[in-house]
Amino acid sequence: MKNIITLVFLFFGQILMAQDGYKLWLQYAEIKNPKLVEDYKNLNAQVQLDTTTATGKVILKELNLAFDGMLNHTVAKSSEQPTLLILKHAALPQSLKKEFKELEDLPEDAYKIQATRLDKREVIVISSTTETGLLYGTFAYLREMQRHKDLSQLEITDAPKIKKRLLNHWDNLDRTIERGYAGFSIWDWHLLPNLIKEEYIDYARANASIGINGTVLNNVNASAYILQDDYLQKVKALADAFRPYGIQVYLTARFSAPIEIGGLQTADPLNAEVQNWWNEKAKEIYTHIPDFGGFLVKANSEGQPGPNNYGRSHVDGANMLAEAVEPYNGIVMWRAFVYSDEKPEDRAKQAYSEFVPFDGKFKDNVLVQVKNGAIDFQPREPFHPLFGAMPETPLMMEFQITQEYLGGMSHLAFLPKLFEETLQADTYAKGAGSTVAQVVDGSLTNKKLTGMAGVSNIGNSRNWTGHPFAQANWYGFGRLAWNPELSAKTIAEEWLAQTFTPDPEFVKPMTSLLLDSREAVVNYMTPLGLHHIMAEGHHQGPGPWVKDLGREDWTSVYYHKADSLGIGFDRTSTGSGALAQYAPEIENAYKNIETTPQEYLLWFHHVPWDYKLDNGQTLWYNLARKYQDGVEEVEAMINTWQDMKPYVGEQVYEKTRMLLSIQLEEAQWWRDSCLLYFQQFSNKEMPEFIPEAKHTLDYYESIRDRYAPGIKPSWD
């Protein structure tokens, strides 16, 4: 009987409550500080807003949800004297109008939040010239509350620096997601248009809360069938659901759709029947969805059809579609991610070579959408040389939020750090200080049409993104699309405080963890400018040995070029010459190994194994050191996370703990397999700080992940 104990129950509801991540950064967690609760209740005692509009209703619903959560079911006092006014500028009481006059000169959807006085009472006013601006202001206000800020001195004026702030879903109509690591697509096409899931609304709320104002629903490797009437009904249902949140829907346009669903013999953009087909299709779409955003197109890239199939140019193709949507204020986003099927030119050069001659030739409603780097969303790439090289063309930034090359769903990598690095890079297009951010936000060359796209990491996982910390990348993308000058640090602090707790004992160490996390991934995957050495096809795990594929530039050996002399891709004038696509300031600095920043060393140079880096150690030593640093950084993340246990729910604590253990294993896998592989070429001893590898190189090379996520499913 010794083992049979009598237990007394102690109920801790909150401990048992599931914190499953569904609420994202809109937790609206109960505030425990009684003084703060009192202050917040007083300031939010009574709100004045217009709920005759769809967006007004949405704002009221959000306030209810937020105050309910944060202020714990408290009934606000009734009074005819509002304490919180959420009103369009034109509807403000006369005495306040002047204080908010600046709104008239700010970009669309700007808002101002101001603690002020009205009829001698203290009030908070949120105002904008647009409904959507009011919603953005409300979310900004709630963000301050979630961060437990003092509201009594509040004064925030903010406006989006970029006009089109879009998610790109690489979601297929069968609900699989290319490079998706968080389950099935949230778009349940089969049950649309009749079933509007709660998830669609919460998706719109989350996006609106960070200023995202558009979403491309389907994959750039597109199915034409989404343009058929039955699917357009479904798209319309989503557009209707998203509209109150200021979110427009966009679709990808498969260039050959006139053939596949239109019954035409050609998709030649200069053919009148083809042009007419697209014009009629656009008309049909806009009949269903008057505020349809437009088309995103991947053409003549990786097997997708395009104008080149008919001897026409990207300009011909883009302008044809642009004409079709122009009458309705639609836009075309034409991707610059192309590389030739024939030319054996360095892939890093091809988009530039192809697109620079087109500068100034696109119609006004065309954005050329350019990936952050010239290869393909690697853990680190120099900024894409097109930024700064097409002054007459609005260039839209394409970031990848889903972690195709940064560990899928199992690695914690805070991507705003990567995004920030690209945005703050100097193109020198108009002299020093001509940052990529200024190209993208249009300020450098005075562009009105501006955009930023993020390839979504969202699926139907309970917490949306699989990894709890992958939510931060969605959040961070949205914030940077609104304001590309925001720092990764600010974003980390905001997200942590809202998602978990504003307690500085948590936010401070975790901000460091987040800010360091992406460099850890670079270190244990592709340090010193290495790139594209991952496993084939699914891109999960190391694969520096990958060779002999259909194309040379799909292999790893093509990119690292390791041999007995050294390692790295010579892109200077003695090599592919890709460096010459950058401004002279960059070219001059990077053309010599000595003056090339260490993080881009092997991107631009083939460097001897014995070459001494700044620290006096050889390249081989430094390569090993970086791999080891990466592993140790993950170990440090694990230690930090263990200390965070008191601040987070048990469920997210355990899940993150387990994921970090996977990340550590995979970091070691990268280190061990890459170093063993490269050692064959360097012929050097492994530095002593590198522990013995668990397996042989043969074993690592034999690993196959037949059912890896994010690729075309296999049933066999």
According to CB under 8 A, which residues from 341 to 370 bind its own copies? none
Nearer to its own copies by C-beta: 173 or 390? 173
The Cα 400–Cα 167 span in angstroms is: 10
Distances (CA, A) of 77 to 42, 49, 469: 9, 16, 38
**Segment 458 to 487, residues that bind its own copies, using CB under 8 A:** 459-462
Query: Would you say 95 and 86 are in contact if contact means Cβ atoms under 8 Å apart?
Result: no
The residue (of 283 and 462) whose beta carbon lies closer to its own copies is 462
Instruction: Answer yes or no whether residue 67 interacts with its own copies by CB under 8 A.
Output: yes
CB–CB of 24/652 below 8 Å? no
240: amino acid identity, one letter: D
Is residue 655 a contact residue for its own copies (CB under 8 A)?
yes
Is residue 42 involved in binding its own copies (CB under 8 A)?
Answer: no
What is the smallest separation between the CB atom of 526 and its own copies, expressed in angstroms? Answer: 21
CB 294 within 8 A of CB 332: yes
Does the active-site annotation cover 302?
A: yes
Question: Which of these segments, 183-191, 314-322, 356-364, 638-646, binds its own copies (CB under 8 A)?
Answer: 183-191
Rounded distance between C-alpha atoms, residue 312 and residue 587, angstroms? 33
**Residues in CB range of 378: below 8 A, 6 or more apart:** 405, 526, 531, 532
Which tokens is 30 given? 């109960």
Q: Is 60 in the site for its own copies (CB under 8 A)?
A: yes
Residue 443 and residue 512: Cα distance in Å, rounded?
A: 31
Which entry of 302, 364, 392, 665 is annotated as an active-site residue?
A: 302
For residues 302 and 552, which CB has a smaller minimum distance to its own copies in the complex?
302
Taking CB under 8 A as the rule, does residue 189 contact its own copies? Answer: yes
Task: Give whichever of 190 and 645 is closer to its own copies, judged by the CB atom.
Answer: 190
Which residue, 65 or 686, is less far from its own copies as judged by CB?
Answer: 65
Could you tell me the smallest distance in angstroms from the CB atom of residue 212 to its own copies?
Answer: 22
Decide whether 238 or 366 has the Cβ nearer to its own copies. Answer: 238
Q: How many residues bind its own copies (CB under 8 A)?
A: 85
Closest distance to its own copies from the beta carbon of 321 (Å): 21
Residues 429, 391 contacting (CB under 8 angstroms): yes
**Among residue numbers 246 through 285, which ones bind its own copies (CB under 8 A)?**
none
Q: Provide Rg for the chain, Cα atoms.
A: 26
Binding characters for its own copies, 383-422, by CB under 8 A (x = yes): -------------------------xxx------------
- 536 burial via Cβ count (<10 Å: 0-12, 13-18, 19+): middle
Active site residue: 131, 158, 326, 376, which one? 376
| Active-site residue flag, 420 | no
Least Å distance between CB 164 and its own copies?
27
Please, what is the minimum distance in Å from the beta carbon of residue 18 to its own copies?
7
Give yes or no for residue 512 binding its own copies (CB under 8 A).
no
Q: Could you give the dihedral angle defined by the CA atoms of residues 34, 39, 41 and 43, in that order, rounded to the nearest 10 degrees?
A: -170
Q: Which of helix, strand or coil describes residue 542? A: strand
Site for its own copies in 222-241 (CB under 8 A): 223, 225
Minimum CB distance to its own copies smaller for 182 or for 425 = 182
Helix ranges, 393-503 (H)? 416-423, 436-440, 471-482, 488-499
401 and 168 Cβ atoms separated by less than 8 Å: no
> How far apart are alpha carbons 627 and 597 in whole angstroms?
18
Question: Mask: binding to its own copies, 516-545, rule CB under 8 A, as x and -?
Answer: ------------------------x-----
Among 432, 610, 658, 680, interactor with its own copies by CB under 8 A: 658
Burial letters 351-381, b for 16+ CB under 10 A, else e: bbbbbeebeeebeebbbbbbbbbbbbbbbbb
Cβ burial of 507 (10 Å; 0-12, 13-18, 19+) is buried
Q: Sort residue 383 into left (φ over 0), alpha (ψ -120 to 50) or beta.
A: beta
Determine, following the binding rule CB under 8 A, whether residue 689 of this chain makes contact with its own copies: no
| Residue closer to its own copies (CB basis): 75 or 272 | 75
Q: Please give the helix or strand (H or E) that residue 455 lies within, else none.
A: strand 451-455
Site for its own copies contains 184 (CB under 8 A): yes
Contact window for its own copies (CB under 8 A) among 66-74, 377-385, 411-419, 431-439: 66-74
The DSSP output letter for 534 is B
C-beta separation of 320 from 275 below 8 A: yes
Determine if 119 is a binding residue for its own copies (CB under 8 A).
no
Nearest distance in Å: CB 322, its own copies: 26
Residue 503 DSSP one-character state: -
* Residues in 613-652 at the binding interface with its own copies, rule: CB under 8 A: 651
CB 482 within 8 Å of CB 450: no
Q: Which of 37, 39, 42, 48 binds its own copies (CB under 8 A)?
A: 48
Decide: is 87 part of the binding site for its own copies (CB under 8 A).
yes
Q: Of 39, 99, 144, 199, which lies in the binding site for its own copies, with binding defined by CB under 8 A? A: 199
Considering beta carbons, is residue 436 or 667 the nearer one to its own copies? 667
Q: Applying CB under 8 A, does 37 fall inside the site for its own copies?
A: no
Which one of residues 22, 310, 428, 681 is an interface residue with its own copies (CB under 8 A)? Answer: 22
Task: Answer yes or no: are the C-beta atoms of 354 and 317 closer than 8 Å.
Answer: no
404 in catalytic set = yes
Catalytic residues: 302, 376, 404
